[in-house]
Amino acid sequence: MDLDRTRPLWRQIAAAIEERIADGTYEVGDPVPSVVGLSAEFGVAASTAQKALLSLKERGIIRAEVGIGSFVADPADRDPER
């Protein structure tokens, strides 16, 4: 995926992960790429990748387990206010 350098990169990365969830590439409970993995895949700084994951976590799209990784959250567990 080519990133548009005129738009926030972290938003584009988050959108790419959401698209992968929507198309079934990542299913509920599946791990999503780590900060290091996203940094390498998209050619961005770790802080940019971290911001993308944080955005997804705050919206309930993914859940993070300390020391283990981030996983696709069950939509039934998502807060409808997000």
Q: Residue 1's pLDDT is what?
A: 76
In angstroms, the CA 36 to CA 56 distance is: 16
pTM: 0.89
Query: Amino acid letter at 17?
Result: I
- What tokens appear for 4 in the block? 């548009």
CB 69 within 8 Å of CB 31: yes
- Whether residue 20 is predicted with pLDDT greater than 60 in this model: the reply is yes
Query: Amino acid letter at 13?
Result: I
pLDDT higher at 77 or 16: 16
CB 79 within 8 Å of CB 37: no
Residues 34-72 have pLDDT tens digits of: 999 999 999 999 999 999 999 999 999 999 999 999 999
Domain 9-70 has CATH 1.10.10.10: yes
